[in-house]
Structure 1
Amino acid sequence: MTGSSDPAGPTEPAGPSGPDAPSGSASSADPAEKTEKTEKTEKAEPAYADRVFRSGGGIVGGGLLLALVLWIGIDALVRGTGRTPWLALAGMLCVIPLIIAFTLRPAVFAGTDRLRIRNPFRTIDLPWGSVTDIRASYSCEAFTRDNGKFQLWAVPVSLRQRKRSARQQTRRAGDDPHGRTTVNVDVTDHQARMATADRTTADLRDLAERSANRTTAQGAPVVRWAYEVIAPAAAGLVVLLVLLLVG
């Protein structure tokens, strides 16, 4: 009974014996596993929401201009006689898109993979890998590897604000009784006292340097014209010219 209860008998093990076979199979799969892990790591990186930069003064000014144009235009439509309502309608059709284009539309969207610049008449998509530098002199501009230069309308440079920031930083330098100048350096405070355009430029440049080598941040710049702004403004201008010429 004891011998019949052992069905396996003195047979060889079913699986490969010794430590060589498992280690060999694992090593053969290492390249594929490493590639898969790399792809998973890149996909697992946190995707941050776009940082949006706008001009507060432009938004306020654009809102006031729109209110003024609408007030005058609607009043002319309601109370005007003869060709006045048509002239008012054509004028609003031409002027309102231009006001929106130069005040409310400009914005800069900085994401993990690309910089999107929305200017009055164009939208430019710049992968971070194509950006070489971002500078703010008399205007804020982005430079690309193909010698392209694009202005950031949403980040205006204020020379008055820059001079005021320089004066504030100078005041923080104190002279001791021995005539020596001592300056306490605080990076956070220094950035807080920078002009808005300079602070924004520094943030964008830092983001460009950190994201330039990402595989998803490569490519060529893409420029698109804002026909949703150009078409109504051009149509309103044509109608206005025709009405004025016809008399």
Structure 2
Amino acid sequence: MTTPEHEPSAPQPPAPRSTDRVHRSPAGILTGVLLLALVAWLGFDALFTGHGRTPWLALAGMILVVPLVVAFTVRPAVYANDERLRIRNPFRVIVLPWGQVATLRSGYSNEVVTDSGTKYQLWALPVSLRARKRAARQAARTAAAGEPRAGGGRGRAFGFGGGAPAAGGRSGATRATTDQVMDDLREMQEARENTEAAQGEATVRWAYEILGPAAAGAVLLAILIALG
């Protein structure tokens, strides 16, 4: 009895890329929605009820203001997966493979520093000194009650230290929200920076979808003002 020849197995499809973890500012989005609603209300009122040059000035102002409001409130986001960190700031999109990231720093703003020394601010993760003080007060109350503190010492409670909190401190209430996010990003960077998939070149792209309309609105507004 003959045995059938072993057939080569079919090539396996490449493993799917890891899903992005998306970090945004809920307060920024809410502010942006409210500002856009206000601009729309005032702008459309001027468009439909204004006289003379007023509708044209309102139109130019809306073309200028709406992209800027979107850029600074709704647009900022941070996307992180096992391969890279993608930062969507108001006017630029920065893609940094983890191998290019030197450190993530938290002070009066959250920022990432590349191996070449270039710094990029994380607009989607604004620092709240009020939240840090609230977290510090909670940490002090926890320590006074004799309970184990989540997140380590005083410097970590304010988010200035590097690395992740002590074990068991991930779910504690003694860290400001954005500081907890920065800890997560540091953990990903430390775990993935030497992997093959996390190597490559950093790229920076200007957000022409924001800059173009804003520039057009500014030019139109300048022309209308100049014509008197």
The TM tier, using the shorter chain, reads: 0.7 to 0.9
Q: Which residue of 2 aligns with 1:120?
A: 90
Q: Which residue of 1 aligns with 2:213?
A: 232
Secondary structure of 1:209 counterpart: helix
Output aligned runs, 1:65-214, within 5 Å: 65-174=35-144, 182-185=146-149, 187-188=168-169, 191-214=172-195
CA RMSD of superposed structures (Å): 1.6
Change (3 A) 1:168 1:189: farther
- Equivalent of residue 218 in structure 1, options 183, 195, 199: 199
Moved over 3 A (4+): 188-192
Native 8 Å contact 1:136 1:197 kept in 2: no
Specify every segment of 5 or more residues in structure 1 that has no aligned partner in the other structure, as ranges: 1-39, 176-181
Q: Partners of 1:139 and 1:197 in 2: how far apart?
A: 10
AA matched with 1:224: R
Native 8 Å contact 2:91 2:210 kept in 1: yes
Q: Partners of 1:100 and 1:120 in 2: how far apart?
A: 8
AA matched with 1:184: P
1:213 Cα deviation after fit: 1.3
More helix by share: 1
Give the fraction of aligned pairs with identical amino acids, expressed as a percent. Answer: 55
Change (3 A) 1:150 1:191: farther
- Equivalent of residue 29 in structure 2, options 34, 42, 59: 59
Specify every segment of 5 or more residues in structure 2 that has no aligned partner in the other structure, as ranges: 1-11, 151-167
